[in-house]
Amino acid sequence: MKIGILKESHKGERRVALSPLITQKLVDKGFEIFVEEGAGENSMYKDSDYVNAGASTATREKIFENAQVLVKINPFDENDLSLVQKRHILMSQLYHKSSPDLIKAISEKGATAFSMDAMPRISRAQDMDVLSSQNNLSGYKAVILGAYEMTKIFPLMMTAAGTITPSRVLIFGVGVAGLQAIATAKRLGAVVEATDIRTETKEQAESLGAKFISVDNEGEESEGGYAKEASEDYKKRQKEAVEESLFKADLVITTANVPGRKAPLLITEEQVKQMKNGAVIVDLAAAQGGNCEVSKLNETVVVNGVKVIGTKISPESVSTNASELYAKNMYNFITHLTEDLNFKWDLEEEITDETLIVQDGVQRKN
């Protein structure tokens, strides 16, 4: 089986889908690997690293000509689709629920496509879950970004000139990104509070040293391991419960996303105006519309002295580590789907069934 590693073309993207180490492991299993020239350069991987791992480098056009399986991180774009053929099997994050035009275009090509972001939240799939591996890094980077933008330090510090009180950090959403944000902020010495619609996250947040702000959420269960869209009644009660902490916070990090839908609004413009002068909000959901009403993607907005940073942040900003983790997810996924270098096409198996979005031009998932 021939696998092609494509260079990411998405603006600002620095990651690559397979690292030289994982390339070597696939080559050792008998896979033939082709790497687009320069694909790993922004993750500090040279073309020679891939060649030494047993791969061949080639132009983008040659990759499409030679490879059966094409792997990326971001969705395939128009330039990619112009080269896609019926025999190709595409693997990337497709975001199929919110990208119907892309799925239709792949179907019209007669190709097959797996979506890495559709991985089911089950124990057997944990080592293939790219959302978890990448969001973990996002939570870490959100705290580092917030610390850089703040005019205060995180820890308690006692000096001859007086005592500096620790900063207060509030985190909305205790998923993978939120948990890593809690852990990072605590390590830096902040007082951390957190809230989430899912009551099962309370113990996890508290185990990392955060105070959990509880909101009665009767009827607000999670779906498949993800938070679901909250009711208007819950949103009202959550707003009331967290306002005291919000208005005291020096740094607020919002991480709440609902797959395939606009991000829930958690912080209104009115609330932003009542926050402390100099406070910072890092909105990780800005690409999906934002958890903060005034957020703008890839922009910093200042409202009444509060700095609001809208970002989808940035596993790509730590591209070496992010690529390593994504590559391990991809390796586990490829080896799960194949046997003796051929796809098993076991559609009764949950991981295959959930991630196979298009098969031979036929759309399987909406």
Task: Compute the distance between CA of residue 93 and CA of residue 365 in angstroms, rounded to an integer.
Answer: 14
Mean pLDDT for the stretch of residues 60-67: 97
Whether the pLDDT of residue 351 is over 80: the answer is: yes
Q: Is 155 within 8 Å of 190 (Cβ atoms)?
A: yes
Task: Compute the distance between CA of residue 128 and CA of residue 10 in angstroms, rounded to an integer.
Answer: 22
pLDDT for residue 225: 52
Q: Which two tokens stand for residue 223?
A: 């779906």
**Identity of the residue numbered 64:** F
Query: If you average pLDDT over each of 15-29, 257-271, 300-314, which comes out highest?
Result: 15-29
pLDDT for residue 241: 84
DSSP 8-state assignment for residue 17 = S
Terminus-to-terminus CA distance in the chain, angstroms?
29
Residue 361: φ, ψ to 5°: 85, -5
CB-based contacts of 76, cutoff 8 Å, min separation 6 = 70, 84, 90, 92, 94, 102, 106
Backbone CA torsion sign across 14, 15, 21, 24:
negative
pTM of the model: 0.83
pLDDT tens readout for residues 285-326: 998 899 999 999 889 999 999 999 998 766 777 899 999 999
Whether the pLDDT of residue 220 is over 70: the answer is: no
pLDDT tens readout for residues 93-146: 998 988 899 999 999 999 999 999 999 989 999 999 998 999 999 999 999 999
Find the helix or strand (DSSP H, E) in which 343 lies.
Answer: strand 342-343
With CA atoms as reference, report the closest residue to 122 among 253, 226, 34, 241: 226
Task: Compute the distance between CA of residue 272 and CA of residue 281 in angstroms, rounded to an integer.
Answer: 9
pLDDT for residue 230: 64
Residues forming the active site: 121, 126, 129, 132, 226
**Identity of the residue numbered 210:** A
DSSP 8-state assignment for residue 151 = S
Task: Compute the distance between CA of residue 208 and CA of residue 359 in angstroms, rounded to an integer.
Answer: 43
Task: Compute the distance between CA of residue 129 and CA of residue 361 in angstroms, rounded to an integer.
Answer: 25
What Cα–Cα distance (Å) separates residue 54 from each residue in 27, 44, 65, 89, 333?
Answer: 6, 18, 19, 22, 20
Whether the pLDDT of residue 154 is over 90: the answer is: yes
Q: Is 289 within 8 Å of 263 (Cβ atoms)?
A: yes
DSSP 270-317: HHHHTSPTT-EEEETTGGGT-SBTT--TTEEEEETTEEEEE----GGG
DSSP 8-state assignment for residue 8 = P
